[in-house]
Structure 1
Amino acid sequence: MPELPEVETTRRKLLPLLRGKALLKILHQDPLRYRNTGEAEGKRVLDLERRGKFLLFALTEGKEMVVHLGMTGGFRKEKTPHARVEFVLEDGHLFFHDPRRFGRIWVVERGAYGEIPLLARLGPEPLGAFPFPPFYKALKGSRKPLKALFLEQRLAAGVGNIYADEALFRAGLNPLRPGQSLSEAEAFRLHQALRSVLEEAVALGGSTLSDKTYQQPDGVPGGFQARHAVYGRKGLPCPRCGGPILRLRVAGRGTHFCPRCQA
């Protein structure tokens, strides 16, 4: 699933293509997944922001188009066999590509997220104002495993499977550790590791995995997968100690870690 770096990369690539442009038509055959899109037709894109894994298109006349990429969604300049939505622009076309059809689009009054409860529950942005004291307090208030806390999206918005594993490795913390068990020094190390991992991943355009489902809108793959220390590397040597990377399930998700470096 695209996480913060992939969604932020998509935002940065789309913004110069769409800012000031009118969405003349939005064509699709699935009004349950792509809600009220007719309300966006004829509106201009004023800005494009990101909140967690959501893209927020600010439109004229007080409208907002909210897009969640789901597991395999993304935007393409060229039509693909899995193009689910076609955006007709003043100067061309843009396509929402989604092989597994978990992506969603809503057109709402700006800021009215009643249909999108997760968006209203998101935690702080780890690449925005992300002070340490509330992060530490949230950890100390929970008995849940660190990996599960990240997946809930309340500790830090936009962090999922890949970047939780990589941040925990970089901080030297076991994904099964309860949040409340961390010392202040350990929590600070995790706070810093999370920011550094995400900043590096955004700079490299996110991670394109072996299934190739994620690509940037211009078709360029991400580059951060070459720096994965643990994610997707079960049985391969740890880049620090040389021991094998293990995989287990935490909160229903495959989780990769080094049992020596993250004891």
Structure 2
Amino acid sequence: MSDSERRPVIGLSTYLEQSVTGVWDVPASFLPRIYIDGITRAGGVAVLLPPQPADGAAYALDGLDGLVLTGGRDVDPTSYAQEPHPRTDEPRLDRDAWERALLDGALERDLPVLGICRGMQVLNVALGGTLHQHLPDVVDHPRHQLGDAVFSTTVARMVPGTRLAAIVGETVDGQCYHHQGLDRLGEGLVVSGRADDGTVEAVELPGATFVVAVQWHPEETLDDLRLFAALVAAAHDRQELRV
């Protein structure tokens, strides 16, 4: 197979939680299949990256053409110098450390990165930003997270001239399930999109080959593969650097 025919290998971070399947009740790494489908339908090969000792991140990145930081539990607020809000999740410190190591390595290598929901928050905190720990305290409504695994639809309006606007157009009807959001932006990040209540719905890192993050869940609407396709295309271009 020629280099131009190689399918980009995209790593996706995963959960590490107690899992019950049949007679088994064990800690397990998992990720909803729709994330994997988003990558494979866009032409990539998905590789799962379970939480593990952070010193292994560089070895994992050696085999990747792109990285997706997926959704999940809240980021540890002590990592951005705040005390936990009563509504903030108990942190998964192993996942925080693993994803931070993956992200730091990816940014150093200029590897294409897509952050989704928690992934956008990880990116912001890694670059020195902070989070609103409970958005209803800020926007006076709970519509970004209805609860009971019910996604809400949030209209995200893109900022003209940004990479996200070029990929998805003026607006996106994003499927949202988050009670936290970006407060102070991390160094170098620019806002690519906002909800009508002012909540940051997308950011990007100008100057990087491809570092884009969204607060909504594009994997929930796989009739629209534009974000995944853009990541895979950037990863395909990046393959030339690994030859």
- Answer 1 or 2: which has greater strand percent: 2
Greater relative CO, 1 or 2 (CA 8 Å, sep 6+): 2
The TM-score normalised by the length of structure 2 is 0.28
Q: When the two structures are superposed, what TM-score results if normalisation uses the length of structure 1?
A: 0.27
Structure having the higher Rg: 1
